């Protein structure tokens, strides 16, 4: 799944949304890392059965493991996907059947109903960018047909649905916490409805793995100038450009190939979240994170009103949404990404690569989104003045 790009202001303001005066990468550099394995006591996870994981993708694997999903089982998945959330299912031997997602990122409930078969054991639903799907009808359908409802909240930490934390409605949900914070690793599996006891036991990743994971974060944190940020962003853009495309049988266009790093890596299966990540997350104030992201989003939305050729993916900001990014639709996306990256803005051609296991010509809406969505940063290390600069 996509990992968070950091738009890098000077280090003195990067950690303003955390609950203590000094937290984050600078704590790691100074050796302030606790040996405590306690997961953060956020309201989202309070009184819930939560299994911390190394990444969101490993949480997906263990979700399948818990419910016994494997060979010959079918799981319906959204056509608009990163690919890294589909691959753990495929690795488990699950047959993944895509269903349509509209240009507004809403699931096509009628298409889901059409595609359910006797082999369908679960329906996998993604809440995009913090916006909850309308899942009550789907939940009723799943209960009626004895099908699991699995929620992907990797892009929607701290959002709500019907006045309850998003991810607490379905049978299980997964989170990719590292998308919201500059941490080396971190995901979670939440089991909401199961008669089966969970025997999943995970250990922190090896120390050498965590050291390797933390290097890019430290390197970016030590960068001070806009010029340095721009160079970093431009290098990221170049990496995206050089991925070898592929052509599927019966299709005419080339699809940028999903990089190897997004395929499921079984070596990471038994790893939990690292103590480095936990040391940072326990100092986070979720309410402050939500408020700052919402304020930044609304400020950027106001500033983008007069910008031509940039269309927000969503209109307005519902009160239950904690936005991951500010997603926009643009033509000539690569030019936008290159230009903004040179100014140090952490933008992404979001999910711009394709998993070869899907016949993409059958899902034009998903392909359009993968080709045109660009994400602008609104995270809690930024201020309204940054939003003015971005626009």
> What's the pLDDT score for residue 19?
31
d(CA 158, CA 130): 8
Query: Which residue in this structure is represented by tokens 């250990």?
Result: 203
Is residue 329 situated within a structural domain? yes
pLDDT tens string 54-70: 999 999 999 999 999 99
**Arithmetic mean of pLDDT over the chain:** 85
Closest CA to 380 of 304, 305, 287, 310: 287
Supply the CATH number for residue 227's domain: 3.90.1150.10
Structural domain including 130 reads: 18-191
Question: Which residue, among 183, 210, 245, 225, has the nearest Cα to 342 in the 3D structure?
Answer: 225
Q: 167 and 251: one domain?
A: no
- Tell me: do 383 and 238 sit in the same domain: yes
Domain count, the chain: 2
Indicate the pLDDT class of residue 73, thresholds 50, 70 and 90. Answer: very high
Within a domain: residue 296? Answer: yes
- The answer to whether 345 and 369 have CB atoms below 8 angstroms apart is no
Segment 309-351, tens digit of pLDDT: 999 999 999 999 999 999 999 999 999 999 998 888 889 899 9
Q: Are 260 and 300 members of one domain? A: yes
**In a domain? residue 91:** yes
**Is a pLDDT exceeding 90 seen at residue 6?**
no
| Mean per-residue pLDDT, 147-176 | 97
Q: Domain check: are 57 and 145 in the same one?
A: yes
Lowest pLDDT segment from 33-37, 59-63, 75-79: 33-37
pLDDT at 127 exceeding the cut of 80: yes
Task: Find the CATH number of the domain harbouring 25.
Answer: 3.40.640.10
Q: How confident is the model at residue 241 (pLDDT cuts 50, 70, 90)?
A: very low
Q: Report yes or no on 309 lying in a domain.
A: yes
Backbone φ and ψ for 182, nearest 5 degrees, come out as -75, 75
CA distance 366 to 79: 6
The tokens of 342 are what?
Answer: 């040179």
Residue 79 exposed, middle or buried by CB count within 10 Å (0-12, 13-18, 19+): buried
Quick: pLDDT tens for 97-121: 999 999 999 999 999 999 999 999 9
Do the beta carbons of residue 377 and residue 5 sit within 8 Å? yes
Confidence (pLDDT) at 234: 47
With respect to residue 120, please indicate whether it lies within any of the assigned structural domains. yes
The reply to whether 293 falls in a domain is yes
Considering only residues 390 and 16, tell me which one the structure prediction assigns the higher pLDDT: 390
pLDDT tens readout for residues 168-219: 999 999 999 999 998 999 999 999 987 776 778 898 888 788 877 877 666 5
Asked if residue 236 and residue 135 are part of one domain, the reply reads no
Q: In the prediction, which pLDDT does 321 show?
A: 99
Q: Which residues are paired to 124 by β-bridges?
A: 150
Distance CA 22, CA 61 (A): 35
Residues 158 and 49 in one domain: yes
State the residue for tokens 């298409």: 111
For residue 229, pLDDT beyond 90: no
Residue ranges of the alpha helices (H) in the chain?
11-14, 25-29, 56-67, 87-91, 109-115, 136-144, 207-221, 226-241, 275-281, 286-303, 333-342, 364-372, 384-390
Dihedral of CA 285/286/289/294: which sign? negative
Cβ of 106: how many Cβ atoms within 10 Å? 13
One DSSP character per residue, 98-141 reads EE-B-TTS-B-HHHHHHH--TTEEEEEEE--TTPPP--HHHHHH
pLDDT at 207: 79
Q: For residues 233-241, give the mean pLDDT.
A: 47
User: pLDDT class for 28, splitting at 50, 70, 90?
Assistant: low
Whether residue 388 has pLDDT greater than 70: yes
What's the pLDDT at 221?
A: 52
Q: What is the pLDDT of residue 36?
A: 78
* 160-161 and 164-165 beta bridge pairing: antiparallel
Q: What is the pLDDT of residue 195?
A: 75
pLDDT cut 70: percent of the chain above it = 81
Sheet with 74-78, side-by-side order of all strands:
49-53, 187-191, 172-175, 148-152, 120-126, 74-78, 95-99
Q: Check whether 235 has a pLDDT greater than 70.
A: no
Residues 122 and 30 in one domain: yes
Would you say residue 85 has pLDDT above 50? yes
The reported pLDDT for the residue numbered 26 is: 53
Q: State the CB neighbour count (10 A cutoff) for residue 111.
A: 16
Please give the pLDDT value at position 213.
80
Domain check: are 151 and 89 in the same one?
A: yes
CA dihedral 288, 291, 292, 294 (to 10 degrees): 160
How many CA atoms, within 13 angstroms, populate the side-chain half-sphere of residue 270? 5
Assess whether pLDDT exceeds 70 at residue 29: no
Q: Residue 231: is its pLDDT beyond 60?
A: no
Asked if residue 263 and residue 117 are part of one domain, the reply reads no
Tell me, yes or no, whether 111 and 225 share the same domain.
no
Q: In terms of domains, do 161 and 289 share one?
A: no
Query: What integer pLDDT is reported at residue 357 of this predicted model?
Result: 92
208 domain-assigned = no
**DSSP codes of every residue in 133-168:** P--HHHHHHHHHTT-EEEEE-TT-TT-EETTEETTS
Is residue 372's pLDDT more than 70? yes
Asked if residue 4 belongs to a domain, the reply is no
Structure confidence at residue 186 (pLDDT): 96
Residue 27 sits in the same domain as residue 92: yes
Q: Cβ contacts of residue 318 below 8 Å, gap of 6+?
A: 131
């Amino acid at each position: 799944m996509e990992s968070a790009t950091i738009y890098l202001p000077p280090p003195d303001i990067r950690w303003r949304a955390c609950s203590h005066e000094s937290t984050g990468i600078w704590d790691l550099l100074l050796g302030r890392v606790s040996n405590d394995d306690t997961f953060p006591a956020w309201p989202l996870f309070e009184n819930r059965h939560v299994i911390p994981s190394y990444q969101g993708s490993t949480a997906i694997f263990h979700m399948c493991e818990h419910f016994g999903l494997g060979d010959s089982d079918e799981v319906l998945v959204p056509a608009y996907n990163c690919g890294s959330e589909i691959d753990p299912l495929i690795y488990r031997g699950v047959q993944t059947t895509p269903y349509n997602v509209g240009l507004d990122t809403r699931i096509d409930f009628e298409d889901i109903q059409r595609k359910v078969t006797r082999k369908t054991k679960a329906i996998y639903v993604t809440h995009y960018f913090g916006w909850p799907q309308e899942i009550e009808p789907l939940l009723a359908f799943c209960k009626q047909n004895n099908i699991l409802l699995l929620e992907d909240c990797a892009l929607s930490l701290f959002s709500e649905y019907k006045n309850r934390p998003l991810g607490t409605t379905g049978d299980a949900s997964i989170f990719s916490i590292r998308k919201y914070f500059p941490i080396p690793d971190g995901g979670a599996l939440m089991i909401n409805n199961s008669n089966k006891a969970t025997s999943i036991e995970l250990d922190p990743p090896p120390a050498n793995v965590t050291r390797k994971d933390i290097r890019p974060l430290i390197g970016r944190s030590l960068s001070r100038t806009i010029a340095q940020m721009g160079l970093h962003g431009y290098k990221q853009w170049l990496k995206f450009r050089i991925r070898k495309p592929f052509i599927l049988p019966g299709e005419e266009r080339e699809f940028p190939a999903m990089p190897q790093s997004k395929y499921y890596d079984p070596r990471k299966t038994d790893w939990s979240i690292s103590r480095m990540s936990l040391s940072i997350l326990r100092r986070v104030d979720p309410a402050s994170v939500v408020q700052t992201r919402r304020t930044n989003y609304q400020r950027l939305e106001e500033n983008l009103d007069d910008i031509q050729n940039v269309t927000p993916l969503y209109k307005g900001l519902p009160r239950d949404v904690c936005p991951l990014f500010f997603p926009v639709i643009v033509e000539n996306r690569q030019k936008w990404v290159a230009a903004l990256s040179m100014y140090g803005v952490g933008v992404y051609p979001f999910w711009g690569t394709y998993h070869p296991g899907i016949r993409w010509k059958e899902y034009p809406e998903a392909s359009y989104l993968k080709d045109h969505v660009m994400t602008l940063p609104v995270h809690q290390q930024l201020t309204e003045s940054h939003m003015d600069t971005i626009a």
